[in-house]
Chains A and B, each alone.
Chain A
Amino acid sequence: MGDLVSNLSLGFGVALSFQNLGLAFLGCLVGTLIGVLPGVGPIATIAMLLPITFGLDPVGALIMLAGIYYGAQYGGSTTAILVNIPGEATSVVTTLDGHQMARQGRAGIALGIAAIGSFFAGTVATVVIAALGAPLTSLALIFGPAEYFSLMVMGLVFAVVLARGSILKAIAMILVGVLLSTVGLDLETGEERMTLGLPFLIDGIDFAVLAMGVFGIAEILRNLDHTETRDVVRQAIGRLLPNREDFRQSYKPVLRGTFIGAILGILPGNGAVLGPFASYTIEKKLAKDPSRFGRGAIEGVAGPESANNAGAQTSFIPLLTLGIPPNAVMALMVGAMTIHGIVPGPQVMTRNPELFWGMIASMWVGNLMLLVINLPMVGMWVRLLKVPYHLMFPAILMFCCIGIYSINSLPTDVMFIGFFGIVGYLLIKFGFEPAPMLLGFVLGKLLEENLRRALILSRGSLETFIDRPVSGVLLLVAVVLLVVALLPSIRKGRDEVFTE
């Protein structure tokens, strides 16, 4: 304990220096801005800004880059709520109720609760990293391919629960998502699958392309369909910040979301994406009136947003303690560290304590700054909704195109968001939800790869999934969840049959 205090005071000593405070602020500000611009993700931004950090000392450079990362997570929720475009896989869930709240004139409250929930989650996650970072590392090592597969199965069950309308349609969409995720080179054999001989499909479909198409572009098409609803949003801005009743409804979801997000964030291979989905599912199951979800329930924003931010922070644990990046942004941080002459790995903690603890302390500082930057801006963001739509949609469209091009510099990606936009529009018209498809897409790849990996390692024996305790428990939970989720709808289905 004494160690923790002295370590943290070392960390705050580093993080609170004038220069590092400025860099943290700059990072958070840039991060928020790029998060708000649809499509321009943290990966592209950090890559673009890497050369600028050459002149800085390593601690300052990493503090700034980390600020961009969690700033973008924050900003991503803003676009999810205001214009229904999830910037990251983790903000897909926020679109479900967040954007509905905005349509009902409660955009300010949605943004406010997202910011406050995220700040709370960030604070808790910082303490978790500082106190338990090293011991929690072993959690990353418990998760082998079999455990991962079972976790993903559980995740897919969550996706079923996410559905607003027909369960059958939701399952169909999940399967379409899983199918889309199998496009590209087969990981084990290197064979091309479903690429239609097109070279740009060799690496599969990019998540950002799919998300921006079926959410962003499709949303624009739908809005152009009937402009009246947009006017409603414009007139009714309503209160800007959450009131007592909102807090009463959200504090429990925030606590639960923080807990779930923090744990899933530590897992390797982008386990953090599951956090918001898991949180949403739990809130929907616990709610007295689950039908409110998908129609602007504040719990559906508070929980997932907290989970999202907690996960974003704890995903630094494998990076800082093991030197192993759990996702693409963290891989970029590894590169940034090596460019600055710090070899990430287990020895960073002892060899560069000022970097290690300085970064941890700066996370909390960064979260505070984000709150300070974001709360006053809520009013400004909400006013954006007042911009006439015929001016706003070309801007959104343009930023989507620039953003998607900045990720891989591929013109085909830009054309693909157009294609998926039309697909997404048709799906909405036929009453299919795009969110379960996106989750199926994100989990599909992990699901397939880990299934095959586990089977290769067990030489084809399926028992490996049940023999391994963690994997067995996860599968059991998945089965129970599925039964609970399906039972009422089967019953309801029967009722409908009888009434007809």
Chain B
Amino acid sequence: MKKIALTLAAGLALAATGAQAQGNYPQRPITMIVPFAAGGPTDVIARIVGDHMSRTLGQQIVIENVAGAGGTTGITRGAQSQPDGYTIMMGHMGTHGAAPALYPNLKYDPAKDFAPIGLAAGTPIVIVAKKDFPANDLKGFLDYMKANADKVNMAHAGVGSVSHSTGIFFNSVVKVKPTMVAYRGTGPALNDLMANTVDYMTDQIVNVAPQILGGNIKAYAIATPERSPALPNVPTTKEAGLPDYEVSAWNAVFAPKGTPPEIVAKLNDALVKSLDDENTRKRLLDLGGVIPSKEERTPAALQKLVESEVARWTPVLKAAGASAE
């Protein structure tokens, strides 16, 4: 009897400290896993948003870059970490949308193994071509590609990259089969695009906007419902006559499955506050980022987004025979 009482007491005490720990969360720095190398678009967004979230939470958010296998290495580690709110991660369109189709041995399920926190920022996809490409608008571009299908080369930044997935999606929407040329990262791909070595690619606005503004490459359309203030002269795909191609590389914060709801709510609150902050907004907009609306920032909305993205990418990528294993 005494033993039981003791166990009970111990259990109660433990539960109490547990509850207290949650009430005081966070008591130590939080690690945010960014599954890509430092300096890339997802990393920059994580650092900008994380900086403001740290101030709301009163604890530093430490960015840990765990790059590899199209971001799935870092996300796998995040999914398997303690669900105590001290490890969170910045997932994106690739890790939580395209990955199941690309990596058959993926160790996590984007829709089931996470506690979604909220959408951070989207980066629109722009269709760009070398500056000597013999077409001045999207329609001319599509006509040329259809007439010269065997001559056209599309560049991408490697299997599993945003430019790869969105490029395959583009090709399937406009029904062309160009020769695909892979590069290791966006930099070298852009270099060859500027040198007129390859013909076109689709990539995030952050990566291509400077070269478009500098006149080194051409932009045909931006795949968002509205034009971007960073590239006001580039028409949307809808305006240019290709409404079926609407895609953006979204970035969102996730915690591992089983993270207590109070902690999720606290993290979501910090995220929402950072997206309302004037300075944070300005920095994200300067990058060409799209800031999610109030409704899009909830965990429930993110869960829905992940499910719809997996459903969208899987058939497109499987049909193209793309696989990373």
Which residues of A come within 8 Å of B, CB atoms? 43, 46-47, 50-51, 54, 140-145, 185, 187-192, 199-200, 202-203, 268-269, 318, 322-326, 328, 331-336, 338-339, 341, 343-347, 408-410, 449, 453, 456-457, 459
Query: Is B257 an interface residue, CB under 8 A from the partner?
Result: no
Query: Is B27 an interface residue, CB under 8 A from the partner?
Result: no
Q: Which B residues from 123 to 170 make CB contacts under 8 A with A? A: 153, 158-160
Asked if A187 contacts B39 (CB within 8 A), the reply is no
Asked if A324 contacts B68 (CB within 8 A), the reply is no
Partner-binding segment picked from B43-51, B262-270, B297-305: B43-51
Q: Which of B40, B66, B282 contacts A409 (CB 8 A)?
A: B66
Q: Which of B40, B159, B286 contacts A189 (CB 8 A)?
A: B159
A408 to B191, CA, bound (A): 27
Partner-binding segment picked from B5-13, B110-118, B210-218, B238-246: B210-218
Contact partners of B158 in chain A: CB under 8 A: 187
Asked if A339 contacts B191 (CB within 8 A), the reply is no
A322 to B286, CA, bound (A): 19
8 A-B pairs, CB-CB below 8 angstroms? A141-B194, A190-B159, A199-B69, A199-B107, A203-B68, A322-B191, A331-B40, A343-B209
Asked if A338 contacts B206 (CB within 8 A), the reply is yes
Known: A144-B197, A192-B325, A457-B153. A409 touches B210 (CB 8 A): no
Number of A-B contacts (CB under 8 A): 150
Known: A335-B39, A338-B287. A47 touches B191 (CB 8 A): no
Q: Which of A141, A199, A339, A457 contacts B181 (CB 8 A)?
A: A457
Query: Is B195 an interface residue, CB under 8 A from the partner?
Result: yes
Contact partners of A326 in chain B: CB under 8 A: 187
Which residues of B come within 8 Å of A, CB atoms? 37-40, 43-44, 47-48, 51, 63-69, 73, 102, 105, 107, 153, 158-160, 179-185, 187-188, 190-192, 194-195, 197-198, 206, 209-211, 213-216, 282-283, 286-287, 322-325
Known: A50-B47, A145-B192, A328-B37. A323 touches B64 (CB 8 A): no
A348 to B323, CA, bound (A): 38
Minimum CB–CB distance for A147 against chain B, Å: 10
Q: Which of B102, B105, B158, B159 has the most CB of A within 10 A?
A: B159
Known: A343-B210, A457-B181. A335 touches B191 (CB 8 A): no
Known: A191-B325, A408-B68. A141 touches B44 (CB 8 A): no
A331 to B159, CA, bound (A): 19
A47 to B51, CA, bound (A): 14
Q: In the complex, which residue of chain B has the Cβ closest to the Cβ of A146?
A: B197
Known: A145-B197, A190-B159, A190-B325. A323 touches B211 (CB 8 A): yes
Asked if A324 contacts B187 (CB within 8 A), the reply is yes
Q: Which of B38, B105, B211 has the most CB of A within 10 A?
A: B38
Asked if B211 contacts A51 (CB within 8 A), the reply is no
Q: In the complex, which residue of chain A has the Cβ closest to the Cβ of B210?
A: A345
Contact partners of A323 in chain B: CB under 8 A: 210-211, 214
A457 to B193, CA, bound (A): 13
Q: In the complex, which residue of chain A has the Cβ closest to the Cβ of B102?
A: A190
A463 to B39, CA, bound (A): 38
Contact partners of B206 in chain A: CB under 8 A: 338, 343
Asked if B184 contacts A345 (CB within 8 A), the reply is no
Q: In the complex, which residue of chain A has the Cβ closest to the Cβ of B48?
A: A339
Minimum CB–CB distance for A372 against chain B, Å: 30
Q: Which of B48, B188, B324 contacts A268 (CB 8 A)?
A: B188
Q: Which of A188, A335, A346 contacts B211 (CB 8 A)?
A: A346
A54 to B324, CA, bound (A): 37
Known: A51-B47, A408-B66. A341 touches B187 (CB 8 A): no
Q: In the complex, which residue of chain A has the Cβ closest to the Cβ of B77?
A: A409
Given contacts A145-B197, A457-B181, 15 further A-B contacts (CB under 8 A): A141-B191, A187-B182, A199-B73, A322-B191, A322-B216, A323-B214, A324-B194, A331-B185, A341-B283, A345-B209, A345-B214, A408-B68, A409-B66, A410-B73, A457-B153
Asked if A47 contacts B181 (CB within 8 A), the reply is no
Known: A47-B38, A202-B68, A323-B211. A456 touches B179 (CB 8 A): yes
Known: A339-B47, A343-B210, A457-B153. A324 touches B190 (CB 8 A): yes
Asked if A453 contacts B68 (CB within 8 A), the reply is no
Q: Which of A54, A140, A188 contacts B191 (CB 8 A)?
A: A140
A47 to B66, CA, bound (A): 12
Q: In the complex, which residue of chain A has the Cβ closest to the Cβ of B66?
A: A409
A331 to B43, CA, bound (A): 12
Minimum CB–CB distance for B37 against chain A, Å: 7
Minimum CB–CB distance for A204 against chain B, Å: 10
Known: A145-B197, A334-B39, A449-B184. A190 touches B66 (CB 8 A): no
Asked if B187 contacts A187 (CB within 8 A), the reply is no
Contact partners of B209 in chain A: CB under 8 A: 343, 345
Minimum CB–CB distance for A222 against chain B, Å: 32
Q: In the complex, which residue of chain B has the Cβ closest to the Cβ of A197?
A: B105
Known: A187-B158, A343-B210. A144 touches B195 (CB 8 A): yes
Contact partners of A141 in chain B: CB under 8 A: 191, 194-195
Minimum CB–CB distance for B32 against chain A, Å: 11
Asked if A268 contacts B179 (CB within 8 A), the reply is no
Contact partners of B47 in chain A: CB under 8 A: 50-51, 339
Q: In the complex, which residue of chain B has the Cβ closest to the Cβ of A349?
A: B214
A497 to B282, CA, bound (A): 75
Known: A203-B68, A332-B38. A51 touches B51 (CB 8 A): yes
A140 to B187, CA, bound (A): 12
Q: In the complex, which residue of chain B has the Cβ closest to the Cβ of A334?
A: B39
Contact partners of B214 in chain A: CB under 8 A: 323, 345-347
Minimum CB–CB distance for A150 against chain B, Å: 15
A234 to B305, CA, bound (A): 65
Asked if B188 contacts A190 (CB within 8 A), the reply is no
Minimum CB–CB distance for B44 against chain A, Å: 5
Minimum CB–CB distance for A238 against chain B, Å: 42
Contact partners of B160 in chain A: CB under 8 A: 190
Asked if B324 contacts A333 (CB within 8 A), the reply is no
Q: In the complex, which residue of chain A has the Cβ closest to the Cβ of B151?
A: A459
Asked if A345 contacts B213 (CB within 8 A), the reply is yes
Q: Which of B159, B188, B197, B206 has the most CB of A within 10 A?
A: B188
Q: Which of B47, B102, B153, B179 has the most CB of A within 10 A?
A: B47
